Chains A and B, each alone.
Chain A
Amino acid sequence: MFVPCGESVPDLTNFTLLMPAVSVGNVGQLAIDLIISTLNMSKIGYFYTDCLVPMVGNNPYATAEENSDELSINTEVYALPSRKLVVLQLRSIFIKYKSKSFCEKLLAWVKSSSCARIIVLSSSHSYHRNDVQLRSTPFRYLLTPSMQKSVQNKIKSLNWLEMEKSKCIPEMSDSEFCIRIPGGGITKTLYDESCSKEIQMAVLLKFVSEGDNIPDAVSLVEYLNEWLQIVKPSSNNCTACALPWKIPSSWRLLFGSGLPPALF
């Protein structure tokens, strides 16, 4: 359930909800971290359930001594009211058998808070690509039928590729075709549930491998940015400038502590 930080529940009517799927390389979660950090979004509440493994730490987006001691938990909600953006961040994995329950609770909250649409940032195993996918851009999108009506033209103008259907049972020659997102965590479940509940949802994903997935996260938010334009280039004159994504202060020591000097 959503529990606000303050005394009252914020009005999220017609907001766009951005959220990650816990997926291969944690790309969606890293991308959401970048968005929260760059836009300096404020925490508005928690999505408190028994579905994710508990974890706590101090503020992962701290910029100074003063704001470094705010406690963060595993599922938090941030907002930027001026852009009608609300972001859900997931920081741990699902407890066994609880992912479907989480999807149901999440979509119920989205409906009750009257969010206009959900955009899920996700990833899929790059080794599952077929020959066509290997030769094309690693980005894909999916839209629920209710979302297609409102954004199809915009998406077409971006020349994006829709996620291809593949055999439901790859080993069977006469298998039916369906959307499969290997390594995508709850992405497929969220997508299917949103289709059946007529919720406007878009999925943006990248084919990735596990490793240093920071570049994948940056490219995924830039893919999202082509559509939503949440961040503009810092200089108007430079068309090829890198966008000013702010790396969160918690993205340190991703591969462990320092090495003992005696090792060398």
Chain B
Amino acid sequence: MNSGVWKEVGCAKLWNEWCRTMDTVHLSPTDAFCVFYQLKSDPSVFLCQCSCYIAEDQQFQWLEKVFGSQPRKNMQVTVLTCRHVTEYKTSESTCSLPSPFLRALKTQKFKDCACCPLLEQPNIVHDLPAAVLSYCQVWKIPAVLYLCYTDVMKLDLVTVEAFKPVLSSSGLKCLVKNIPESTEILKKLMTTNEIQSNIYT
């Protein structure tokens, strides 16, 4: 989002037990749970930032509201998400895994190569990313999910940097400028968002 000018074009408001905000009628943009942005230089590009948990009984309705009941064939969807490394099943111990690391899942109609290995069985994905990918698979929409397995519970630079290969993928590289300087840009973005958490100060 730092690379272009984005216009906020909508939001999806919902409530479930995991939401922190009680008032769902008068949400401010900072409270709104799923905000949709449109790229000003290319109005065919939309971005959705989901900052809350969408419960399993809300996912289907979320999809219908966002994608509509008539699926569009000429669109491509990219989903970025994270999971804790302990959810990754492997014959080795998870302690020995080089986290953070990326894995991908793609629908049948997604013909490009993923920029990381595909998610190996018996690993599976749940929640909204799974709902989106299922929708795209069923309605034959090209879609790719990039999943970062990380060993930290809150946002950090190392985890975000794990997504760097994705920035060079065919779907996203036209949206990102200054890829060599991305580390510096990310550091600045992380510092502004970090909440002071040192209990000794």
Contact = CB atoms under 8 A, between A and B. Distances in A.
Interface of A: 3, 46, 48, 50, 53-60, 62, 68-71, 73-74, 95-96, 98, 249-254, 256-262
Contact of B121 (A53, A68, A256): A68
B105 interface: yes
Interface stretch (B6-14, B126-134, B160-168): B126-134
26 contacts: A3-B138, A48-B134, A50-B60, A53-B56, A53-B126, A54-B60, A54-B131, A56-B129, A56-B137, A58-B119, A60-B121, A68-B120, A68-B121, A71-B107, A73-B130, A73-B134, A74-B134, A249-B121, A250-B122, A251-B122, A252-B122, A253-B122, A257-B90, A257-B91, A257-B93, A259-B93
B124 interface: yes
Contact of B118 (A58, A95, A257, A258): A58
B92 interface: yes
B86 to A, nearest CB: 8
Contacts of A59: 121
Residue of A68, A96, A252, A254 most packed against chain B (CB within 10 A): A252
B199 interface: no
A64 B42 CA distance: 41
Contacts of B123: 57
Nearest to A254: B122
Contacts of B56: 53-54, 95
Nearest to B57: A95
Contact of B137 (A71, A254, A259): A71
B139 interface: yes
A69 B91 contact: no
A127 to B, nearest CB: 29
B126 A253 contact: no
B79 to A, nearest CB: 10
A73 B107 CA distance: 10
Chain B interface SS verdict (over half): mixed
A59 B124 CA distance: 10
B93 A56 contact: no
For chain B, the bracket of interface size reads: 35 or more
A69 B107 CA distance: 9
A48 B138 contact: yes
Given A53-B56, A56-B134, A253-B89, A71 B108 contact: yes
Given A71-B106, A96-B57, A258-B90, A60 B134 contact: no
A121 B65 CA distance: 36
B122 A260 contact: no
Residue of A62, A95, A254 most packed against chain B (CB within 10 A): A95
Residue of B59, B93, B123, B129 most packed against chain A (CB within 10 A): B93
